[in-house]
DNA sequence: TCGTGTTGTGGTCATAATGGTCGTGACGCC
DNA sequence: GGCGTCACGACCATTATGACCACAACACGA
């Protein structure tokens, strides 16, 4: 493709905005067109860019903004007929926000904090999406399906050997919602055996997703309790 | 989860609308809430349904309407904060329309004319999407990715090869009436072999009609048990 | 204060039983 | 009669469990 994808970075936190802009610059085929620190300026930036004949292609949109929600920014843009693509970046992980973002036609939903690898994954998916759309003037059902599928293609099924994704998910959900839990407690609440629960907890610990600390005060060997670390880390560096 | 998905069919052509409504009725877990023949009535129907406390979940939205474009209907709804899901149905195959639909957060884009198989594929994808979203109050990056991926996952594979409608019906009846059954139990009750029973159950799972979860507690590899989608899951006592 | 016994989980191994795939065979259709 | 379709049996791969020993902190007596 010829012209780079022009990206508008929206975040009220200057450091975060700068970091995201740097991520964009680091990605071949993308360039930061501008940055905005509020919902109002974000909308203006998009409209101004279009009037200037150099429209923004993609907006990295934070949800927590001082003047209005990022979702409201999206609604405003959509109401004005702006078909700019949106990549939501937020710490909100509740279903309602995810759903709302989905209905506003975002091309991706990134949960903060994230690593560059995860960010790049989304940009790659977006690149595929654009490529699938730009291939022809008219499309068949297959092409349409492929284009929309490109956005979500990079879903990781998580396949460590010896562990089942479903069990991993249920253990993860327990730890995330239950404060600090011992292996035995996780076992009990998930109807798993202690051994199995511990195996999954150890795996999550190795990946940095949960933290581990001993629980003193009771007789017997101290129990290890596990708590959610709340980060999506990709180790290996 | 248990209640069927309420669908609003929008098409200015009465015969087409009726056909689409019939398609909906033919799909388990879906019901037609109403039909609308113009953009204005469509918007009103959505708003009225919400006010009545029985909101529409999904709108089958034709683009060619007498008073306004279906995309304008979508914009109007979005501007009002309506987060109803939209499935666009149109003969338009130009990239611009597809793109515009994408930015309005549609859950699917169907090009007329289409067969019931294609239609059902979209409904299946939507069912998976809803299931992925409804699983928890908060989601991780993986879960979000999976949810969005669900919408486009049905792009290729659904090949009902090796399945007979008769066998499918008997397996479906068993699962629907029998609570949570393992593949082996379904096999026994249907006088099928475990392999065959599992293949049908797996097919139903892929179509989003049944849910699957491991049954822990016994030695050996955990047995997967299948339950009709629409029953509530209450693990762990 | 120190050392020893007690307690209860950490961690590992072999075992158990299903998941999933391959090739074969019976049935029906062209 | 040839061919495609569908179900079955058997096999290997996969994954949770129970049992076992090792370990680490508390409790108690000297």
d(CA A49, CA A35): 12
Kindly tell me if the per-residue pLDDT of B236 is higher than 50: no
What's the pLDDT score for residue A154? Answer: 58
pLDDT over threshold 70, residue A135:
no
Q: Is the pLDDT of residue A84 over 50?
A: yes
Contact (Cβ atoms closer than 8 angstroms) between residue A89 and residue A110: yes
- Region A38-65: what's the mean pLDDT? 95
Per residue, what are the HEC states of chain A? CCCCEEEEEECCCHHHHHHHHHHHHHCCCEEEEEEECCHHHHHHHHHHHHHCCCCCCEEEEECCCCCCCHHHHHHHHHHCCCCCEEEEEECCCEHHHHHHHHHCCCCEEEECCCCHHHHHHHHHHHHHHHHHHCCCCECCHHHHHHHHHHHHCCCCCCCCCCCCHHHHHHHHHHHHHCCCEEHHHHHHHHCCCHHHHHHHHHHHHHCCCEEEEEECCCCCCCEEEEEECCCCCCCCC
DSSP letters of B188-229?
HHHT--HHHHHHHHHHHHHTTSEEEEEE-SSSSSPEEEEEEB
Q: Which residues of B touch A118 (CB under 8 A)?
A: 141
Say which nucleotide is closest to residue A217, CA to C1' distance. Answer: D26
B196 nearest nucleotide via C1' and CA: D7
- Confidence band, pLDDT 50/70/90 cuts, at residue A232: very low
The residue of A103, A118, A163, A174 whose CB has the most chain B CBs within 10 angstroms, and thus the best one to mutate to test that interface, is A103
A23 pLDDT band, cuts 50/70/90, is: very high
The shortest C-alpha distance from A12 to chain B (Å) reads 22
Tell which wins on pLDDT, A143 or B67: B67
pLDDT value of residue A147: 81
pLDDT given at position A35: 94
Cα(B128)–Cα(A144) distance, integer angstroms? 19
Average confidence (pLDDT) over A22-35: 93
pLDDT at residue A156, rounded to an integer:
55
Which two structure tokens, joined as six digits, stand for A80? 């004005």
Least confident of A22-26, A104-108, B117-121: B117-121
Respond yes or no on whether the N-terminal peptide bond of residue B113 is cis (omega within 30° of 0): yes
Residue B230: is its pLDDT beyond 60?
A: no
Average pLDDT along chain A: 87
Q: Do A138 and B102 touch (CB under 8 A)?
A: no
Q: Give the per-residue pLDDT at A230.
A: 62
> Looking at the predicted structure, is the pLDDT value of residue A201 above 60?
yes
Question: Quick one: pLDDT band at residue A137, thresholds 50, 70, 90?
Answer: confident
Strand D proximal to B218 Cβ, under 7 A = yes
Question: What is residue B162's predicted lDDT score, i.e. its pLDDT?
Answer: 73
CB neighbourhood size of A210 (10 A): 25
User: Of B151, B113, B115, which is closest to residue B131 (Cα–Cα)?
Assistant: B151
> What is the pLDDT, as a whole number, of residue A17?
94
| Calpha distance B89→B85 (Å, rounded) | 13
> 3-state class of B24 per DSSP?
helix
Query: Higher model confidence: residue A229 or residue A20?
Result: A20
What pLDDT, on a 0 to 100 scale, did the predictor assign at position B77?
Answer: 93
pLDDT digit string, tens, across residues B199-208: 999 888 877 7
> What is the average per-residue pLDDT within A21-40?
94
The 3-class SS string of A23-44 reads HHHHCCCEEEEEEECCHHHHHH
Strand order across the B223-228 sheet: B181-182, B223-228, B210-215
Closest nucleotide to A221 by C1' from CA: D24
Residue percentage of chain B with pLDDT more than 70: 91
Residues B75-85, mean pLDDT to the nearest whole number: 90
| HSE, side-chain direction, 13 A CA sphere, residue A121 | 18
Encode pLDDT of B94-134 as tens digits: 988 998 999 999 999 999 888 887 888 888 889 888 888 87
Residue-wise pLDDT for B127-165, tens only, equals: 888 888 875 677 777 778 878 887 876 554 445 567 888
pLDDT value of residue B154: 55
Q: A163 is written with which tokens?
A: 């562990």
Each as own residue / partner, the long-range contacts of residues B218-226 (CB below 8 Å, 24 or more positions apart, any chain) are B222/A164, B222/A167, B223/B182, B223/B183, B223/B184, B224/B182, B224/B183, B225/B180, B225/B181, B225/B182, B226/B175, B226/B180, B226/B181, B226/B182, B226/B183, B226/B186, B226/B201
The answer on pLDDT for A229 being more than 90 is no
- Residues of A in Cβ contact (< 8 Å) with B107: 102
Mean pLDDT, rounded, for A116-139 = 83
Q: How confident is the prediction for chain B on average, in pLDDT?
A: 86
**Does residue B198 surpass a pLDDT of 50?**
yes
Query: Measured between CB atoms, does B219 come within 8 Å of chain A?
Result: no
């Amino acid at each position: 493709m010829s012209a780079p994808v022009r990206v508008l970075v929206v975040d009220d936190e200057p450091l975060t905005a700068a970091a995201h802009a740097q991520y964009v610059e680091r990605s071949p085929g993308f360039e930061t067109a501008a940055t905005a620190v509020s919902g109002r300026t974000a909308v203006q930036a998009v409209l101004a860019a279009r009037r200037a004949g150099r429209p923004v292609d993609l907006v990295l949109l934070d949800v927590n903004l001082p003047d209005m929600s990022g979702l409201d920014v999206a609604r405003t843009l959509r109401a004005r007929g702006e078909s700019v693509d949106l990549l939501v970046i937020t710490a909100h992980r509740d279903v309602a926000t995810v759903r709302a973002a989905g209905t506003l036609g975002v091309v991706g939903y990134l949960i903060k904090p994230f690593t560059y690898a995860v960010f790049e994954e989304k940009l790659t998916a977006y690149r595929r999406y654009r490529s699938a759309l730009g291939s022809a003037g008219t499309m068949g059902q297959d092409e349409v399906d492929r284009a929309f599928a490109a956005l979500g293609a990079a879903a990781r099924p998580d396949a460590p050997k010896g562990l089942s994704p479903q069990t991993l998910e249920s253990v993860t959900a327990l730890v995330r919602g239950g404060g600090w839990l011992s292996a035995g407690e996780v076992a009990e609440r998930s109807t798993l055996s202690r051994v199995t629960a511990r195996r999954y907890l150890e795996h999550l610990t190795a990946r940095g997703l949960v933290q581990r600390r001993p629980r003193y005060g009771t007789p017997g060997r101290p129990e290890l309790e596990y708590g959610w670390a709340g980060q999506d880390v990709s180790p290996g560096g």
